[in-house]
Amino acid sequence: MQDAKDLNQYKTELRESLNNEFLRSAMDKFAVAYPAARARAFGDMDVAALVADVARAKDVSVGQMDALYAQFKAKAEAAGATVHLARTAHEANEIIASIARENGVKHIVKSKSMTAEETHLNPHLEAAGLNVTETDLGEWIIQLRGEGPSHMVMPAIHLSRYQVSDLFSDVTKQKQDSDIQKLVKVARRELRPKFVQADMGVSGANFALAQTGTIGIVTNEGNGRLTTTLPRVHVALLGLEKLTPTLHEALGVLKVLPRNATGQALTSYVTWITGNNQCAPGPDGKKVMHIVFLDNGRRAMAKDPIFSQVLRCVRCGACANVCPVYRMVGGHKYGHVYIGAIGLILTYFFHGREKAKNLVQNCINCGACKAVCAAGIDLPRLIKEVHARIQDEEGHPLQSQLLGLAMKNRTLFHGLLRAAKFAQRPVTGGTPYLRHLPMIFAKGQDFRALPAIAAKPFRDQWAKLKPLVPSPKLKVALFSGCVLDFVYPEQMAAAVKVLADRGVAVDFPMGQSCCGLPVEMMGERIAARDVAEQNVTAIDASAYDYILTLCASCASHLKHAYPRLLKDTPSVAYNAQQFSDRVIDFSSFVRDVLKVEAQDFMPGGPKTAYHAPCHLCRGLDVHEAPRALIGIGGMDYVQAEEEEVCCGFGGTFSMKFPEVSAEILGKKLSNVEATGAEQLVTDCPGCVMQLRGGAETRGMRLDVLHLAEALAARLK
């Protein structure tokens, strides 16, 4: 739940979560266990194809939402159910309360429904004098504690067995053991009388089949079955996006949902209900059956060209499972009702700007959620989009406006960076790090040493470095990005060295500027677009075979975001596609285009670990090339745990949320330390900055290098 008034209060709350030791260790175990369980569950299935099927089927359904609703209503009502459409959360709650009233209901049992959480149904029913009991174990626990869920599938994941045992001792007035098996049995027996007593059951549903008017419910505990069977009234509350034309699409989703959610091939129960079934205590021995569909903005969203894909979500919860920030701060701080990446987005739509405005800033843009999403939703992009919308609505913070302004004007921006070089002199103490930052900049930043601005940017060195290639086979334009140009020009120089004598004509077009990702991350859409246009204009793509960049973040942004950012600017839209098609990362270029070989390098190199930059492994789907190059380059590659998990940098993220960043970095460095590597290589200057600075502060004996540097040093 979000109640922080401003970013500072939100950060204070984050700190509390970071200091919660139980939460931290529970989340860590989960983060490590989940990917393995998921991989086992999918086995050798073609996951990408299954996900694409879900996405396609969902898009079709969402596009026909109104027609499917009408069809469903006709079918379900012919089978004896009553179907309602609630325009708002409040209306849904009212409909359900009046069903309770009309049927003389006093006691309600509920099985798990995120939609009911969305509408805050329980408080509404309780205010109407009804007694409501959640029967899903996790939901019951948090109901008793008066909390919201901390995960969409495991709502009580933030609690320990001891907390549950204390809670159950209170409820039963008997001292309870902390043995989990026993606690589960206690819940079994305590909730059974609630089922016996209840006259109404409220459930959610995962599917609504228009073809037959059937709802499908996916559960594990069996409470959903009792909820829909024992009481004489059953109300199912579900979002309009659960409508699908036929059973066929639902079975497709069922292939992915349980595997992605909990690593199960299938949940214990899938229940298909059509119409008013047999029910002894009901009128004429039949169930009073109501199905309430919730709009709450979904019909408008279905027509939104950018956000309609949000309605594909099948609520598997996986986007939280893999999120490095969720892992650090837990669900109460990483969502409001809906949790995780999708929660950041849905909170804005269903619970408002106020609840969403801090949350959406706390995304590091690592792309792990997108890569795991059961429905192929481009979550990080939509999170940025919500951030930008909120800024457009509330006004842009000065800092972000200034950055946007500065970046739009390359000469000004580069001038500022050059000026920073002189301003930093008193703080470097002659080392390559910023040592004595004035407090205002340094707050919370001491977890990793920050590098100083280089004495001479790469662009000023270029005239001397540019190799002479008489009859080139390939023409390559270098795109440096700001960090390499102004902080780590030596990494660029190293790359030029690796390319030398291989028949590649290399160019460094001077009109290039920042790629624009930092401004997009800060919600400055216009600046991001303007910078993209400058770069596409500065580098005449068709004059080159490749546009090579050593920065994974730049590469992924140039490749994926440019065509989108510039699609409505006719003068450059075509060039943008030409441009992005030619973008290639350093590792892929060196291994797959240059095809370097082991004999080009000296053997016997150091034990070397690898960190996979988010924007390389997920952003560009490059996994093998850099690891292979470590071996080709004569180094001894050792695999670290969680190589493809984020390092915590995220550009401005690490400045805004230093404590979260520091914790993520800590995990990463510990995993590297455990390998006993002497050297750590990666292919993104941002990651180098974070990892090198962290290793320095931690006093580790670890050289952190860009892969280009590591290779250049070993060239024969």
Interface with ligand SF4 (CB under 6 A): 313-319, 322-325, 340-342, 363-369, 372-375, 377, 379-380, 383
Which parts of 112-171 interact with other proteins (CB under 8 A)? 135-138, 141, 154-157, 159-161, 164, 171
State yes or no: residue 74 binds other proteins (CB under 8 A). no
695-715 exposure pattern, b = at least 16 Cβ within 10 A, e = fewer: bbbbebebbbbbbbbbbbbbb
Candidates 284-292, 320-328, 566-574, 630-638; binding stretch for other proteins (CB under 8 A): 284-292
State yes or no: residue 283 binds other proteins (CB under 8 A). no
Torsion sign over Cα 105, 109, 111, 115: positive
Which parts of 675-714 interact with other proteins (CB under 8 A)? none
Candidates 182-190, 330-338, 557-565, 700-708; binding stretch for other proteins (CB under 8 A): 182-190
State yes or no: residue 182 binds other proteins (CB under 8 A). yes
Is 688 in contact with 668 (CB distance < 8 Å)? no
Binder of other proteins out of 99, 121, 209, 360 (CB under 8 A): 209
The residue (of 270 and 474) whose beta carbon lies closer to other proteins is 270
State yes or no: residue 191 binds other proteins (CB under 8 A). yes
Chain centroid, CA 79 distance in Å: 41
Q: Which neighbouring-strand residues pair with 609?
A: 680
| Among ligand SF4, other proteins, none, residue 364 binds (CB under 5-8 Å by kind) | ligand SF4
Q: How many residues bind other proteins (CB under 8 A)?
A: 82
| Among other proteins, ligand SF4, none, residue 191 binds (CB under 5-8 Å by kind) | other proteins
Query: Mutual orientation of helices 525-538 and 570-582 as an angle, nearest 10°?
Result: 70
The residue (of 155 and 626) whose beta carbon lies closer to other proteins is 155
DSSP code string of 246-292 = SHHHHHHHHHHHHHHHHS-SS-SEEEEEESS-B-TTSGGGB-EEEEE
The residue (of 175 and 464) whose beta carbon lies closer to other proteins is 175
Q: Minimum distance from CB of 362 to ligand SF4 (Å)?
A: 8
What CA dihedral angle connects 633, 639, 641 and 647, to 10 degrees? 0
H or E element at residue 234: strand 233-239
Is 652 in contact with 363 (CB distance < 8 Å)? no
Binder of other proteins out of 12, 145, 272, 543 (CB under 8 A): 272
Q: Minimum distance from CB of 58 to ligand SF4 (Å)?
A: 9
Radius of gyration of the chain (CA): 28
Binder of other proteins out of 14, 83, 235, 254 (CB under 8 A): 254
- Phi and psi at residue 170, in whole multiples of 5°? -60, -45
Binder of other proteins out of 123, 193, 503, 606 (CB under 8 A): 193
| Among other proteins, ligand SF4, none, residue 363 binds (CB under 5-8 Å by kind) | ligand SF4
Q: Minimum distance from CB of 45 to other proteins (Å)?
A: 10
State yes or no: residue 205 binds other proteins (CB under 8 A). no
Query: Measured between alpha carbons, how far is 41 from 25 in angstroms, rounded to an integer?
Result: 24
| Among ligand SF4, other proteins, none, residue 273 binds (CB under 5-8 Å by kind) | other proteins
Query: Measured between alpha carbons, how far is 652 from 164 in angstroms, rounded to an integer?
Result: 39
Candidates 208-216, 454-462, 555-563, 706-714; binding stretch for other proteins (CB under 8 A): 208-216
- Phi and psi at residue 638, in whole multiples of 5°? -115, 135
State yes or no: residue 8 binds other proteins (CB under 8 A). no
CB atoms near residue 439 (< 10 Å): 6
State yes or no: residue 276 binds other proteins (CB under 8 A). yes
Chain centroid, CA 153 distance in Å: 16
The residue (of 76 and 85) whose beta carbon lies closer to other proteins is 76
Q: Minimum distance from CB of 327 to ligand SF4 (Å)?
A: 9
The residue (of 266 and 700) whose beta carbon lies closer to other proteins is 266
Q: Minimum distance from CB of 344 to ligand SF4 (Å)?
A: 6
Q: How far is CA 147 from CA 10, 142, 332, 336, in A?
A: 18, 5, 9, 11
- Phi and psi at residue 289, in whole multiples of 5°? -115, 120
DSSP code string of 443-461 = TT-TTSPEEPPPSS-HHHH
Q: Minimum distance from CB of 273 to other proteins (Å)?
A: 6
| Among other proteins, ligand SF4, none, residue 368 binds (CB under 5-8 Å by kind) | ligand SF4
Is 654 in contact with 402 (CB distance < 8 Å)? no
- The label of the residue with tokens 């159910």 reads 81
Chain centroid, CA 562 distance in Å: 21
| Among ligand SF4, other proteins, none, residue 186 binds (CB under 5-8 Å by kind) | other proteins
The residue (of 114 and 504) whose beta carbon lies closer to ligand SF4 is 114
The residue (of 410 and 559) whose beta carbon lies closer to ligand SF4 is 559
Q: Which neighbouring-strand residues pair with 109?
A: 133, 201
Q: Using CB under 8 A as the criterion, what x/- string covers residues 17-46 for binding other proteins?
A: ---------x--xx--x-------------
Name residues whose C-beta falls within 8 Å of residue 699's C-beta, 6 or more positions apart in sequence.
Answer: none
The residue (of 367 and 451) whose beta carbon lies closer to ligand SF4 is 367
Candidates 193-201, 314-322, 568-576, 598-606; binding stretch for other proteins (CB under 8 A): 193-201
Q: Is 166 exposed, middle or buried (0-12, 13-18, 19+ CB in 10 A)?
A: middle
Q: Minimum distance from CB of 61 to other proteins (Å)?
A: 17
Query: Measured between alpha carbons, how far is 524 from 255 in angstroms, rounded to an integer?
Result: 39
The residue (of 4 and 373) whose beta carbon lies closer to ligand SF4 is 373
Structure tokens at 389: 């919308």
